[in-house]
Structure 1
Amino acid sequence: MKLKKHFLMAAILLITGVSHAQQVNENTNYDQGFRLGFGLNAGAVTGDYFNFALGGDARLQYDLSQKTSLTLTTGYTHLFGKDEVKDLGYIPAKAGFKAFVWGDRFYVLGEAGAGFAVTNNYNETTFLWSPGIGYANSFIDLSLRYEGMNNFNADQIAFRVAYGFKL
């Protein structure tokens, strides 16, 4: 008889705990969704061939949770050549992961993809990788990133200012 009482008490506690946990999860469920941002980039270029970079981009972001997101970024970046080197314009196509690490404003971001040269007979496509850090609120996104470009003989450290909104 005592065994049945203990079993019944354990079952009641388990059911009560599970139902309470479900209520907490329902109340704190994050409204997942998409965000779209448009940014302007300016950067210093490393290497011997280019002086600086200017560009613009569009970033689609899918929020997995309040702290993590998946990103897709494209746009146009123009590298201004030194001396007799011709300028290079390319279109980046990158996918990435964004994680807020300090409160809900400061984040780290990692992206990888391809850069497609589109100017001055550059017929190269390069692998791009770009880690970065940033600050974001409901509308403004400020970030600093390194962008490695394997086949363009240049890398850049760029500052990005963007306006974003929920879709």
Structure 2
Amino acid sequence: MAGYRALLLSIGEGEIAARDNDLEDAGTFSVDKVVADASVDDYDALLLPGGTVNPDKLRMDEDAVRFVRDFFNSGKPIGTICRGPWALVEAGVMSGRQITSFPSVRTDLRNAGAEVLDQEVVTDECLVSSRSPEDLPAFCAKVVEEFAEGRHDARVGAATGGA
């Protein structure tokens, strides 16, 4: 996307190791900011990672959950794939939302009040979700579209609780 710069937020400082399918080394990346020190006002969009390890670590971190909740309530676009929606469940923002995910997360989403659809890409206002890496072409295209569109005012302040 022209005009945007991707920044890496993490629950810890330094570098993080990327993994392909949770197993194979895919390089390291420098953390730009620790999520505990991040402000939603400083970001235009949020992309929650897929896989198993990263989403699980995010949903267990209070600062990450707070940031995800605040970001969701801001109405700014969020993209999530695979098991990434775990953080949204933990943030208590899924009630009444349509979403898709990796099959193992769907019960958690339903229990959190979401309507789970088994589709390549699901968009609910500016929340874009996909099931797995096989959906990446459609997911990436829709994420770019939603990120370019920006904030959805209808969602601002809609969800306030935690899980």
Structure 2 length as normaliser, TM-score? 0.22
**Structure holding more helix per residue:** 2
Structure 1 length as normaliser, TM-score? 0.21
